[in-house]
Amino acid sequence: MTSAARRGDAPPPAIARASAAPSAREPLLHRHRRSPPIQVHGNTTGLKASQVKALERLGRRRLSDDRIVTNELARELTELSNDVRRQVGVLLDRSGSVQHVMIGHGSGIELPDWGRLRAGRGRLRGLRLIHTHLAGEGLTRDDETDLALLRLDAVVSIEVRNDGLPGLSHAASLAPANEDGRSVEKLDPIHPANYDFDFSVWIRDLENELSRATEGQEVAEGERAILVSVTAGRDRETLEMHVDELRELARAAGVHVVDVVTQSRPKVDPRTVIGAGKLSDLVIRCFQSDIDLVIFDQDMTPAQARNLSERMELRVIDRTQLILDIFAQRATTGDGKLQVELAQLRYRMPRLAQRADLSLSRLAGGIGGRGPGETKLESDRRRVRDRITRLEREAKRLTKQREGRRRKRGRRGVPVLSIVGYTNAGKSTLLRALTQSDVHVEDKMFATLDPVSRRLRFPREREVIITDTVGFIRDLPEDLVAAFHATLEELRDASLLLHVVDAASPDIDRRIRAVRDVLGELGFDGKPELLVFNQIDRLDEAEAQALARRYQAIPISALTGTGLRELLTESEEVLWDDEDRVPGEEDRFVDLAASGR
């Protein structure tokens, strides 16, 4: 740094005289005469020709790579900003070359859309923003938001004095993950002439520290995700239950949940679901924690999904897309895969127009991007509509086949017991306990997708078909209900519904209501129903009995076999309504449940 620059006196000849060549004694700033002019971005309306030329000359500036900013550049920015009474800024790369020149208004500046440049794991953009502030306000929330959303190397704001000379400069960078929860590291305010550190070394050390923090993250299977939810009129208790459920859905999809972000708002932001400040914090947290995926509890509109994915440069999906992904993983039969693909295409159809949407790009892969229909998602709307039409035709054909099987079963007069209930309530465990069959059981939501049917023989040579259906969930996506309507039509011939409820759940009423709402939508709310409270082994006996009496339910534990005799006895009474039952005959159900006879 020259002595004149440190004193903030008149700029060296390289700045003061446009025609002068840079001096060998002043290597920090020189001009590129052969470079093509950089287009000025922003509010140029009303500027004089000389002012526009002064802005264009900024694009030919270059700093030494070891300086974050120089007094010469700062002075040229502040003098021009004072002249036009608007904020003026530049974006410099790490070699010190100006890549973009911007001009805003009196209280803000808009950055250009330079596309997707460098954004690797634990890496920064390789660009730093230097711009003026006319009111001497230091770094603003917008500055910190740009720093976070764009992964800039640094942001430097320079105060414009009344005489047009540079005042204090304020600089900040992203902070690596830390125990204090700081997202931004701010340097002490200082005159631009007094920066005495080597910027090239400083930014290299910062990026190395960010990379080490990324490498040191907990190693876990699956993608690393942050869950996001907005209260949107819900009370805190309801919000926590919904977030817990979203966490379970993420676990079922094989996602490693790193953190949860919530925001109290009366309603979601129409553009980005969460507010601008919370979005900025979220971006920084994702960067610090090496996040692959962000999952929103609220269903997003196509515009919201596009805005979020563009600003965060991460895959952003909502709860519906997460459920669709789980279904894509679980579908094993051709019928199930067809219905999943149909649901995916119906859901994603309005989102196909998203420009450069990471949440739908097949290149991104992973959660929210898999499934039988993923190669069709980059097709244009016409081809997708044609695919949906073909799938709907095939679904109708399969529906007719199922109707034929149901008619045959009806002619034989075999009653049907259908197990329904909220997902992960223990339906498959109950089917396995009653029939002693090798049914897949797993403590995850939607562990079983395709319907499973088994025979169950009662005393006096009676038998029933017992069927385990797909689990229900609150706010079941319409596309999912429509696509799986054919599968759920198996319930039409059910003689009795065994409505299984997790007795240990903290929100029993909500889960019961969610299941009955779906049954009502399908027209099956008039079916005979036995309410079955499963997992009573997780409660003390008195609490379990009181709960069963309150809801007029049958308390059981499918895992230990407790209550299965009472369940089968009640089922037989509903199915056959015998008057000539032999006393003590129900004792045979003990062996029945144990042997599968």
Q: Tokens 């060549």 label which residue?
A: 21
How much is the average pLDDT of 309-314? 82
Distance CA 497, CA 469 (A): 11
Tens digit of pLDDT for each residue in 233-269?
888 888 998 999 999 999 988 899 999 999 999 999 9
Higher pLDDT, residue 421 or 451? 421
Confidence check: pLDDT of 37 > 80: no
Q: What is the pLDDT confidence band of residue 537, given thresholds at 50, 70 and 90?
A: very high
For residue 580, the tally of other CB atoms under 10 A from its CB is 5
Q: What angle do CA 100, 103, 109 make, to 5 degrees?
A: 95
Closest by Cα among 446, 162, 449 to 319: 446
Q: What pLDDT sits at residue 448? A: 65
Q: What is the pLDDT confidence band of residue 406, given thresholds at 50, 70 and 90?
A: low
How much is the average pLDDT of 153-164? 95
Helix (H) or strand (E) holding 287: helix 276-288
Q: What pLDDT sits at residue 381? A: 73
Q: What is the residue-wise DSSP string for 288-341?
A: HTT--EEEESSPPPHHHHHHHHHHH-SEEEEHHHHHHHHHHHH--SHHHHHHHH
Distance CA 463, CA 461 (A): 7
Q: Tokens 């079941």 label which residue?
A: 476
Residues above pLDDT 70, as percent of the chain:
77
pTM of the entire predicted model: 0.70
Residues above pLDDT 90, as percent of the chain:
37
Higher pLDDT, residue 596 or 272? 272
Higher pLDDT, residue 350 or 536? 536
Distance CA 57, CA 73 (A): 11
Structural domain boundaries of the chain? 3-215, 224-319, 414-595
Q: Tokens 């931004």 label which residue?
A: 184
Tell me whether the CATH fold assigned to 224-319 matches the one assigned to 414-595. yes
Closest by Cα among 439, 471, 434 to 452: 439
Tens digit of pLDDT for each residue in 452-501?
788 887 766 788 888 887 778 887 767 667 656 656 766 877 889 999 99
Distance CA 547, CA 538 (A): 13
Distance CA 138, CA 160 (A): 11
Distance CA 294, CA 300 (A): 12
Q: What is the pLDDT confidence band of residue 200, given thresholds at 50, 70 and 90?
A: very high
Among the listed ranges 38-42, 150-154, 456-460, which one has the minimum average pLDDT value?
A: 456-460
Closest by Cα among 246, 248, 156, 238 to 202: 156
How much is the average pLDDT of 409-431? 82
Confidence check: pLDDT of 592 > 50: no
Q: What pLDDT sits at residue 227? A: 96
Distance CA 419, CA 471 (A): 9
Q: What pLDDT sits at residue 169? A: 96
Q: What pLDDT sits at residue 159? A: 96
What's the whole-number average pLDDT of the chain?
80
Alpha helices of 46-163 — where are they, by DSSP H? 49-58, 71-84, 141-150
Q: What pLDDT sits at residue 521? A: 81
Distance CA 151, CA 283 (A): 9
How much is the average pLDDT of 577-586? 54
Q: What pLDDT sits at residue 585? A: 52
3-class SS of residue 216 = coil
Q: What pLDDT sits at residue 213? A: 58
Confidence check: pLDDT of 418 > 60: yes
For residue 465, the tally of other CB atoms under 10 A from its CB is 18
Confidence check: pLDDT of 299 > 70: yes
Confidence check: pLDDT of 49 > 70: yes
Q: What pLDDT sits at residue 404? A: 76
Query: Do 222 and 186 touch, CB atoms closer than 8 A?
Result: no
Name the phi and psi angles at 262, rounded to 5.
-125, 155
Closest by Cα among 50, 69, 60 to 30: 60
**What's the start-to-end Cα distance of the chain, in Å?**
92
Query: Do 241 and 507 touch, CB atoms closer than 8 A?
Result: yes
How much is the average pLDDT of 319-332? 85
Q: What is the CATH number of domain 224-319?
A: 3.40.50.11060
3-class SS of residue 501 = strand
Distance CA 229, CA 322 (A): 14
b/e 137-176 (16+ beta carbons within 10 angstroms → b):
eebbebbbbbbbbbbbbbbbbbbbeeeebbbbbbbbbbbb
3-class SS of residue 100 = strand
Q: What pLDDT sits at residue 38? A: 76
Per the DSSP assignment, residues forming a β-bridge with 410 are: none
Confidence check: pLDDT of 193 > 80: yes
Among the listed ranges 200-204, 474-478, 492-496, 510-514, which one has the minimum average pLDDT value?
A: 474-478
Among the listed ranges 264-268, 285-289, 411-415, 578-582, which one has the minimum average pLDDT value?
A: 578-582
Q: What is the CATH number of domain 414-595?
A: 3.40.50.300
Confidence check: pLDDT of 201 > 70: yes
What value does the CA radius of gyration of the chain take, rounded to a whole number of Å? 33
Tens digit of pLDDT for each residue in 62-118?
999 999 999 999 999 999 999 999 999 999 999 999 999 999 999 889 888 765 444
